[in-house]
Structure 1
Amino acid sequence: MAQKKLLLIDGNSVAFRAFYALYRQLDRFTSPDGLHTNAIYTFKNMLDAIMKKVQPTNVLVAFDAGKVTFRTKMYQDYKGGRQKTPSELLEQLPVIRELLADLGITSYELKNYEADDIIGTLAKMGEDAGYKVTVVTGDRDLTQLASDKVTVMITKNGVGDTEDYTPEHMKEVNGVTPTEFIDMKALMGDNSDNYPGVTKVGPKTASRLIQKYGSVENLYEHVDEMKKSKLKENLINDKDKAFLAKKLATIDHDSPVTVTLEDTVKRDVDYEKLRTLYEKLGFKKFLAELNQDSAAQDETTGAEEYQYVELTQDNSQELADLKAKEITFYLGMLGDNYHLAPFVGFALKVDRKVYVAKDIALLQEMPLKGILENKTIKKNVFDLKRTYVGLHRLGITAGGLDYDMLLASYLVNNENNSNDLGEIAHLYGEYSVKTDLEVYGKGKKMAVPEDEEFFKHLAAKVNVIEKLKPELIKRLKDHEQDGLYDDIEIPVAFVLAKMEIAGMKVLPTTLMELQNDFATRLKELQDKIYSQAGEEFNLNSPKQLGHILFEKLGLPPVKKTKTGYSTSVEVLDQLKTKSPIINEILDYRQIAKIQSTYVKGLLDVIQPDGRVHTRYLQTLTATGRLSSVDPNLQNIPTRTDKGKQIRKAFVPTEADGYIFSCDYSQVELRVLAHVSGDEHMQEAFKTGYDIHSHTAMKIFHLDSPDQVTPLQRRHAKAVNFGIVYGISDYGLSKNLGISRKQAKEFIDNYFEQYPQIKDYMDKAVQEAREKGYAETIMHRRRYLPDIHAKNFNVRSFAERTAINSPIQGSAADIIKIAMINMQKELEEVHLKTKMVLQVHDELIFDVPKDELETIKKIVPEVMQSAVQLDVPLVADSGWGHNWYDAK
C-alpha cells in the first residue's frame, strides 16, 4: 500500500506571507468589483508549489478562530503587541476559504484554540496512524512538532521556497531537540507572541542552558548549584515567568477537534465553481490553467505559446535566412560573476519557435554569430550588461541589444532587487519559469540538470522575457520612466559593460610590498598590546579583549551586550583618553582589515591579463546608485593614509601613462539647492562661496567667511550633509559630540537661514504620503509603503527617505548621464583613453601620456554640462602615475 501523506497548512501564517509578498503591488491586484486579491493570488501559487512538492493524499488548512483562546485566559497580554491585521487582508480570508473548498481541500478552525493546536493535534493523529506528515507555516514555533514522521516546512521568500525542519535540522540550527525547543522558548520568551521569559536570556543562552539541563524543570532543580551571577539571579527572580512561558509556548496535541483524518482526504476539484470564482476575481492565468485540459481551447487561453527544438550543427542553417527584425536571446551562465562563470547553454526565440542548446560553440559560428552582431536585428534580453560581457568573452560584439527585462522591472519597482529571472517573473504572475535556485541549486552544489529539464528552463526564460515586455514597457510609460529607461539606464549599461571588460591594471608587487609592511606593523602593535596587557590573548576575540580591558586593566565599561562587554569601535573611541592601549588596538584592527579585505583580497582576484574586472550592480540600490562587487573597488578606504596606500597598486596600462580622476564637488547639496529653490543656498553656489563656510556664517550669525573657525565649518558641514539625510537633533548631537539642545539650535538656525529647504522637506513628505513614493528629477521612483506606518520609528525612516531619495537619486542620475556623454565623447574623438572606474561621484580614466592634455580639458567640461541645474555643477580633477597620486 502506498504511503499516506498528510499535509497540514497554517492558513493565517501562509495568507499573511502571501499578502506581504505582493504588498507593493496591492493596488494592481484588485478584482473587477474592487476586492483586493494579492493574498488570494499568491496563496494559490504557494499552495500549488507546496502540493507539487509534497504530493499529499490528505490536506487540511487550519485557521485561527479569533483572538480569544485558552492562552489569553492564562496570560491576558498574549499576542497583545501585534498590529491589527490590515483590512485589505481580512477581506481576502473568506475568499481563500472559498478557494480551498473549490479545490477540494478541507479548512478548519476551533473556538478558543489556535491554528497551531489544530495542526499539533492532527499531526499527532497522523503520526499515530502511520502517515508521513508535513506541516507548512511561517511560524517557527511549530518546529517543536518535528519528529521522524513529521517535517515542518518554514516558508521563506519565494513561492515554494522553504526551509525544512527535521529533528536533525533542529539540532543543527538551535542546538536542541524539537521538544527541548519549547523549553528554550520558556527561557527566552517571545516578542512576537508578547510573552516574557527570563530577563536578558536570549537564544544562545537559552540553548546552552537547555543543552546542559534538558528542561526548564531540571534547570530549576539545579539552579541553586549554579555559580553566583546575574544570570542565576534573573533565573530565580523570573521562575514564574519561565513556567508560564513554557505553558504558552507548548502546542496542544490533544485539542477537541471534530475533524478526522478521513475528513482531510483530498477531494476532486469543483471545476465549475473554481471557474466562476476565477472569473469573479479576474484571475486570467488560473483560468487558462483550468482550460489546459482542452486542446481546442489552447489557442484562446494562451496555454501553448511556443515550441522548442534543440539547436545543432545540422539545423542551425534554418537561421541563415532569418527575416525577423526582433528576436529574444538568453545566454546561460552558472553563477553570478559573468566574467568568470562557465557557460551552460543558450536559447533563441524567433516568432513562436525557440531554439535551445548546450553547445556554446554554435554561437561563435555562422549564422548565429552574424545574427548576434547584426545591429539591425533588435534583441530582447534579460540582463543587457551580463549578455554583452558574456558574448564578448566568446569573441562576439553584440549588436542590437534593445530591451532589458531586468532594468525595466527594476525601474518599475526598485524595492525588488533580485537578479533572478524566475523570481522577477513571479512578481508579475508568470510562474511558467522556475528560479535558478530551483533548477541549478546553489553554492558548490550548483549543477546543470538533464537535457529535457534544462532545455525547458531555457525555453521558458526566453518566452517570459518576450511575454512580459509589453506590460513592463507600458508601466514605464505610465510612470513617465520611459525616458529614464531609454536615455539613462540602457545606455549606461553599455558603458558599464565596456568599463568592466577594460578592467583596471593592478601591480601585485606593490600589493605584496604593502602586505609585508602591514604584517611588520601588525606584529609591532601586537607586541605592544601584549606588553601593556601583561599577557598574550586572542586580539580578535571580543570576549578576551573585554576581559583584558574592563576586568584586568579596569577601564570603565561603556556598553554591555548579551555575550559580554562591547568592544566595538564606537566604544573604543570613547576610551581613547583612558589608556594608550586603546589607540594601538584601533590601529591594529584598522590595518588587519585593510590587510585581509583589500591587500589579500585584491591579490586573489587579479586576472591573467593583470587586471581586476569588477562588476557593477545596476539594479541593487533603491536610489539608483551603482555598487561594485567582485571586487568592490568603490569601498577602498580613503579616510586614512594606510587605506589609501592600496590605490598605489592601481596603475595605467602604459608605463608612462596616467590615472586621471575627476569628481563632482558637493553634488548632493547642489541638487538640494536646485530642488528646494532656496535662494540663499543657490546664491552661495552661484558666487563660488565655500558652502560649508557660507552655512557656518548663517547658523552662527557671522558677518564674513574670515570669522568662521575650522570647528564651526566642521559643524556646518555636518549640518549640511545631515539635512540631506533628514538628520534629527539626536543624530547630529551624536555625530558632533555636542548636546542635543545645541544640535537643535544648529538645525533651527539652519532652517531659519535656508527656509525654502524646510519647505522642500515638508512638501517631499506630504507628496510621498499622497503618492506612496518619492521621485528624482528624472522620475526615478522610490516606493514608501511605510510612510503611513503607525510605528513612529518605521514611519520616520520612510519620511527621511522621502526627503533624501530624490537628492541621492538625482545625483546618481547625473553621474550616469556624465558617463554616457563621456563614453560617447571618447569614441567620437577616437581616443585610446578608457573610463575604467566609477566611485560614487568620481570617474577614473586610464590615459595614455599623449592624451593627458586633451583629457584634462574634456572630462570636466562633459561632467559639468551633464545636466542643467539652477546652480552650476563643478568637477575637480587630479592625475598621477597611479590612482593614489591622482587624488
Structure 2
Amino acid sequence: MNENKKLVLIDGHSILFRAFYGLPDLTTSKGQHTNAILGFLNILYKILDEEKPDYLAVAFDTHHPTFRNEMFDEYKGTRKPMPDELREQVPVMKELLKAMNISVIEKPGFEADDILGTLATKAEKEGYQVSLVSGDRDLLQLASDKIKVRIPKTKQTGTEIEDYFANDVMEKYNVTPKQFIDMKGLMGDKSDNIPGVPGVGEKTAQKLIVEYKSIENLYEHIDELKPGKITNALMENKELAFLSKKLATICTDCDLMFNIEEAALKDIYNENVYILFKNLEFKSLLARFQSVEINRSLNIEENFKVIDNLGEAERIFNLIYSEISSGNKKPVGIHMLIDNGELLGVSLCFGEKDVYVILRHGLITEDFLTDRVENIVKNKIGLAVIGLKEQLKYIKVTEDDSVFDNAIAAYLLNPLTDTYNYDDIARDYLGMTVPSQVDLLGKSKLKDAMENNPKEFGLFAGYNAYVAYAAASKLKDKLIETDMLKLYEEIERPLIFTLYDMEIRGIRVNKEALKEYGDQLEVGILSLEKQIYELVGETFNINSPKQLGVILFEKLRLPFAKKTKTGYSTAADVLEKLQGEHPVISMILEYRQLTKLKSTYADGLASYIREDGRIHGKFNQTIAATGRISSTDPNLQNIPIKMELGRKIRKVFIPEDDYVFLDADYSQIELRVLAHLSGDERLINAYNEAKDIHRITASEVFHTPFEEVTPLQRSNAKAVNFGIIYGISSFGLGQDLNITRKEAERYIEKYFETYPKIKEYLDGLVAKAKKDGYSTTLFGRRRPIPELTSSNFMQRSFGERVAMNSPIQGTAADIIKIAMNRVNRRLKDSNMRSRLILQVHDELLVEAHKDEVEEVMKIMTEEMQGAAKLKVPLETEVKIGNNWYEAK
C-alpha cells in the first residue's frame, strides 16, 4: 500500500553540528550566527531535490548532552558542551522548520537517533521507502534493503553525501548493519563518547567482528586469541566492551505517538519562510521563491504610482516644490533609474502615500527630468538617496547641497555586510521585509524589465525611493547615537563627490606600449616554457596543477609533497619551500608571475580602455570594513610594485599632452598613526627628530650602535615595525624573516621593551574591543569584531589581530580620504586644469598641467600633511614623471 511512498528522516542536532563545523562562521548584519542553519538548509534542499519525498520529519535531542539511559550517564554526560554560536542557532532552525511545515519531533528521555530508529523501523514494516539523514555513522546499523542511510559532508565547495543500504555497509566494512554495532562497541567513538576497548582501532575491530560475528561470540572464544596487547586489553575491559555496545545500540521501539501522515510535505515555500530567510540574509536561497506568490501585507505598494504623462509629471514636481512652503523638513526620497548610462526615469517619495515613478516617455525627456530634479535642490529641499555616486550624472548636486546617502550611512553603522541595497536597509532600519531587485526582476536589465515586466519594475523603482525617504531620519539618528555623524558629513559624504570625479576623469593608457609589454611577456613565457620542458625531459601543461604535481613529486621525486583529492598541491607556499631543491622551481615561479602579468594586466587592462583612450575604473566606498577605498573594473590599486617587470606596467599609464603626473605618498603613515595613538615617547621623539625609524628600532632591538646597524638588521627591524601594526605572531614573523619561532619571539619581546607604551596600547585595544564589541579610529569610525566572542581559538585570535590593526589602518584610511577630498576640492575651487585621478592606499596621483606643476605640488603637500594633527609630522614626497612609472 505504501510501497511508492518515500519518508525522509533527519537527525537535527547531528546535521546542524556537521554544518556548523563544515562552513566558516557567518553572521547577519545584526550579529546572528547562521552558518549551521545555512549548511543545514543546503543539505535539506539537496535531499529534497534528490529524493522528492512524500513525508519528512526532523528529530532533535531534547537537551545537549543527551542520554540514552541513566546507566550510561558517566559516558554520555562527558560530551563537550555545545558552542554558544551553535546553541543560539538551534531554536532558529526549529522555528524555520515549523514555518516550512516540516514535522519537528522531540521526546524527553530519548536521543534523536532513538526516535529515528523507531520511526524508520515502523515505516519499513508499513512498506515505506526510508532515507535516514545523519552525520552519525551509528545509524548504519539501521540500513536495510528499504532503509537508506545518508551521511552528508558540508564543505565550502558544496555538500557531498555518502549513501548506504545494507549491501553498501557490507561492502565497505565487511560486516552487516547489525554487526556494525559490535564494531562500534569494540573501537568506540570519541565524537559520541562511546569509550570502546582501549587500543582497539577500526581495522582491528572490523577483523574481530568479521571472524567472530559479535562481541558475545568473541568473548566466548577469547582464549583462542594470540597473546598480546590487544588480547590483554579485551580481557581487561570486557565490561567496557559490552557497555559500549549498549551505548552504540539504537532503540527501535520507543514509545512514540506519531502518525507518519503528520509528516506529509506541504507548502514549504511560503511567506513566513521567505521573511525568515530575508531576516537571516540568505539571499542565495531566495531564488527558490521566484515561482511562489508572496503576499506582502505592508500595504505600501498600493501607494506606488507609475506616470508617463507630462502634465501629471509636472503636477508631481510642483507638489514637491510646494512642500518647502508647508514647512516639511523631510528630504525627498529619490532614485534615478539608470541602465548602462541611460536614464529611464526617476522615482520620488515625499510622503508615506506619495510614491511616484516617472518614466521617460514622449515629452518627458532626460532634460525635463534632470532639470526638475535640479529645481528640487534649488528650492532648498533635501534629497535622500541610496547610492548617490552611481546617480550623480543625473542628480546635479554639489558637496554643499543637502543630500543624504542611506547606503553610506548604513555602511558606517555596519561595515561587515556585503550589500546596502534598499531591501537591506528596509530590513535593518525599518523592520520591513521587502522584495529585492533579484526577487522582482531576476537577472533582467532595467530597460528590459521596464518593457517586459512593468509592474515589477514599478515596484523596484518605488521601493528605492520609499526606503530612501523612510530610512534617512532613522539612519541619521543612529549616526548621532554612535558618534559617527561628523565622520559621515566631513569625510564620507564629500568623498562621494571626489570618487565620482576620479571615475569620470579616468586615467590615460598608451595602447601601443601596453601591447608591446604583452609581447615582451609572451616572449619570456615561451622561453621559460622551453627551458622547463628541457629540464624535466618532457612537455606538459605547466598551468595544470595536476600535471605539474605529477612532474614534481613523481617524476622528479621532490620533497614536501602534499596530496589532495585532486592531486598534489602546487600552491605558492609549497613551491616556495621547494626553492633550491631543483632549478625548475624558480623557473615555474617566474613563469607563473609572467602569465599572471600577461592575463591580468597586459591582456586584462586592454579590455577596459574606452573610446577616449582612458580607463574609467570604479572606486568603492562601502566594501572594506577598515574604511579603505577599493578599486574594481579594473583594480588599479593592485598594480604590481614588488618585482621590476611588474612595476614596468606603470609605464603604459600616461598623462594627456601638455600634462605630467604628480605622485605623492605618505611616508610610513600607519607607523606614525601608531606613534600618535600609543603615545610612546621614544617613537614620537624619533619621528619628530626625523630619524630613520627602522635603523633606530634595529639599534635598540639588536643592541647595536646606531651607526653600526647592518642592512639586514634594518630590514628585520622594518618587518617587526610593520608586523606589530598587523598583530603579527612569533610564528608569522619567523616565517617572514626565515628565523626560528623562539628568535622571532625574542625580537617581539625586545621591540616591546624598546617601545613599552605600544604593548600597553595594543593590549588596551583588545580589551576595549572585547568590552564594546567594536574598535574605533581616531575619527570615530567603528569596526564591529564579533570574532572576539567566538568559542573557536583561531577566530578569537583573528579578532584580536583585527582589534589591534583596525584603529591604526582605519585612521590612516580616514586621513588619506581627508587629503583626497581637500586636494580635489582645492584644485576645482582654484579652477585649475590639473585633476586628481587615482588613489592607491597612501598614494595620490594627479594629472597636472605643465603650467600648474609647482602650484599643484604645493597644494598636494599642504593638504596631505595638514590632513590631521598628530603628535608626529605627516611626511609626504611628491614626484614628477611623464608616466606613472617615472612618477612613482
Which interval holds the TM-score relative to the shorter structure? 0.7 to 0.9
> Distance between the aligned counterparts of 1:606 and 1:655, measured in 2?
18
Please state whether the residue corresponding to 2:559 is helix, strand or coil: coil
> Distance between the aligned counterparts of 1:707 and 1:497, measured in 2?
50
**Pairing 1:382–2:378 present:** no
> Distance between the aligned counterparts of 1:138 and 1:440, measured in 2?
38
> Structure 2 matches for 1:583-594, cutoff 5 A?
583-594=586-597
Match of residue 566, structure 1, among 557, 566, 569: 569
1:259-305 Cα shifts (integer Å, max 9, x gaps):
2255468999xxxxx9xxxxxxxxxxxxxxxxxxxxxxxxxx98558
What residue number does 1:260 align with?
A: 259
Deviation, 1:122, is 7.9
> Distance between the aligned counterparts of 1:655 and 1:500, measured in 2?
20
> Distance between the aligned counterparts of 2:404 and 2:365, measured in 1?
22
> Distance between the aligned counterparts of 1:694 and 1:816, measured in 2?
30
2:725–2:805 contact (8 Å) kept in structure 1: yes
Match of residue 671, structure 1, among 656, 670, 673: 673
What residue number does 1:693 align with?
A: 695
1:438-473 Cα shifts (integer Å, max 9, x gaps):
233349999736222232232223222222223222
1:120-162 Cα shifts (integer Å, max 9, x gaps):
99899999999999999999999x99xxxx9x9x9x99xxxxx
Aligned-partner residue type, residue 25 of structure 1:
K
> Structure 2 matches for 1:30-109, cutoff 5 A?
62-66=59-63, 67-68=65-66, 84-86=82-84, 107-109=104-106
Aligned-partner residue type, residue 378 of structure 1:
G
What residue number does 1:329 align with?
A: 334
Superposition TM-score, scaled by structure 2 size? 0.73
Superposition TM-score, scaled by structure 1 size? 0.73
What residue number does 1:25 align with?
A: 30
Aligned-partner residue type, residue 828 of structure 2:
E
> Distance between the aligned counterparts of 2:443 and 2:75, measured in 1?
43
1:306–1:353 contact (8 Å) kept in structure 2: no
1:384–1:401 contact (8 Å) kept in structure 2: no
Q: Which has the larger radius of gyration?
A: 2
Please state whether the residue corresponding to 2:651 is helix, strand or coil: helix
Q: Measured at CA, do residues 24 and 373 of structure 1 come closer, stay the same or move farther in structure 2, by a change above 3 Å?
A: closer
1:674-715 Cα shifts (integer Å, max 9, x gaps):
0000001001111111111111111112332x2111101100
> Structure 2 matches for 1:632-671, cutoff 5 A?
632-652=635-655, 654-671=656-673
> Distance between the aligned counterparts of 1:136 and 1:368, measured in 2?
58
1:461-492 Cα shifts (integer Å, max 9, x gaps):
32222222232222211110111111111110
1:81–1:193 contact (8 Å) kept in structure 2: no
What residue number does 2:509 align with?
A: 506
Q: Measured at CA, do residues 625 and 256 of structure 1 come closer, stay the same or move farther in structure 2, by a change above 3 Å?
A: farther
1:837-860 Cα shifts (integer Å, max 9, x gaps):
111001111122222221122111
Q: Measured at CA, do residues 5 and 839 of structure 1 come closer, stay the same or move farther in structure 2, by a change above 3 Å?
A: farther
> Distance between the aligned counterparts of 2:607 and 2:248, measured in 1?
49
Q: Measured at CA, do residues 367 and 550 of structure 1 come closer, stay the same or move farther in structure 2, by a change above 3 Å?
A: closer
Deviation, 1:759, is 0.9
**Pairing 1:631–2:596 present:** no
What residue number does 1:835 align with?
A: 836
Q: Measured at CA, do residues 128 and 494 of structure 1 come closer, stay the same or move farther in structure 2, by a change above 3 Å?
A: farther
2:879–2:887 contact (8 Å) kept in structure 1: yes
Task: Give the share of equivalent positions with the same residue, in percent.
Answer: 39
Q: Measured at CA, do residues 312 and 856 of structure 1 come closer, stay the same or move farther in structure 2, by a change above 3 Å?
A: same
What residue number does 1:317 align with?
A: 314
Please state whether the residue corresponding to 1:662 is helix, strand or coil: strand
2:664–2:843 contact (8 Å) kept in structure 1: yes
Please state whether the residue corresponding to 2:877 is helix, strand or coil: strand
> Distance between the aligned counterparts of 1:484 and 1:698, measured in 2?
38
1:471-518 Cα shifts (integer Å, max 9, x gaps):
222221111011111111111011111111111111221111111111
1:345–1:356 contact (8 Å) kept in structure 2: yes
Q: Measured at CA, do residues 75 and 342 of structure 1 come closer, stay the same or move farther in structure 2, by a change above 3 Å?
A: farther
> Structure 2 matches for 1:400-411, cutoff 5 A?
400=401, 402-411=403-412
> Distance between the aligned counterparts of 1:762 and 1:481, measured in 2?
25
2:399–2:493 contact (8 Å) kept in structure 1: no
1:538-592 Cα shifts (integer Å, max 9, x gaps):
1112232233233333433364545444333233233333332222111111000
What residue number does 2:107 align with?
A: 110
Please state whether the residue corresponding to 1:356 is helix, strand or coil: strand
Aligned-partner residue type, residue 414 of structure 2:
N
Please state whether the residue corresponding to 2:839 is helix, strand or coil: strand
What residue number does 1:852 align with?
A: 853
What residue number does 2:743 align with?
A: 742
Match of residue 686, structure 2, among 679, 684, 700: 684
Deviation, 1:434, is 1.4
What residue number does 1:607 align with?
A: 610
What residue number does 2:434 align with?
A: 433
1:659–1:844 contact (8 Å) kept in structure 2: yes
> Structure 2 matches for 1:538-553, cutoff 5 A?
538-553=541-556
Aligned-partner residue type, residue 436 of structure 1:
Q
Aligned-partner residue type, residue 468 of structure 2:
I
Unaligned runs of 5+ in 2: 175-183, 194-205, 211-245, 273-296, 325-330
Deviation, 1:399, is 9.0
Aligned-partner residue type, residue 258 of structure 1:
M
Deviation, 1:117, is 8.2
What residue number does 1:495 align with?
A: 498
Please state whether the residue corresponding to 1:456 is helix, strand or coil: helix
**Pairing 1:349–2:349 present:** yes
What residue number does 1:280 align with?
A: none
1:72–1:78 contact (8 Å) kept in structure 2: no
Q: Measured at CA, do residues 64 and 536 of structure 1 come closer, stay the same or move farther in structure 2, by a change above 3 Å?
A: same
**Pairing 1:416–2:421 present:** no
> Distance between the aligned counterparts of 1:362 and 1:381, measured in 2?
26
Higher mean C-alpha displacement, 849-858 vs 511-520: 849-858
Match of residue 482, structure 1, among 479, 482, 485: 485
2:505–2:837 contact (8 Å) kept in structure 1: yes
What residue number does 1:728 align with?
A: 729
Aligned-partner residue type, residue 308 of structure 2:
T
Deviation, 1:114, is 5.9
2:67–2:76 contact (8 Å) kept in structure 1: no
Deviation, 1:81, is 7.7
- Number of equivalences: 766
Deviation, 1:366, is 5.5
Aligned Cα root-mean-square deviation (Å): 5.4
Please state whether the residue corresponding to 2:334 is helix, strand or coil: strand
Higher mean C-alpha displacement, 7-16 vs 582-591: 7-16
What residue number does 2:600 align with?
A: 597
Please state whether the residue corresponding to 1:778 is helix, strand or coil: coil
Unaligned runs of 5+ in 1: 30-37, 158-162, 164-168, 197-215, 221-246, 269-273, 275-300, 335-339
1:328–1:462 contact (8 Å) kept in structure 2: yes
1:606-654 Cα shifts (integer Å, max 9, x gaps):
12222211111211111001111111100111111111121111111x2
> Distance between the aligned counterparts of 1:802 and 1:248, measured in 2?
45
2:348–2:466 contact (8 Å) kept in structure 1: no
What residue number does 2:181 align with?
A: none
Please state whether the residue corresponding to 2:604 is helix, strand or coil: helix
1:864–1:875 contact (8 Å) kept in structure 2: yes
> Distance between the aligned counterparts of 2:116 and 2:338, measured in 1?
43
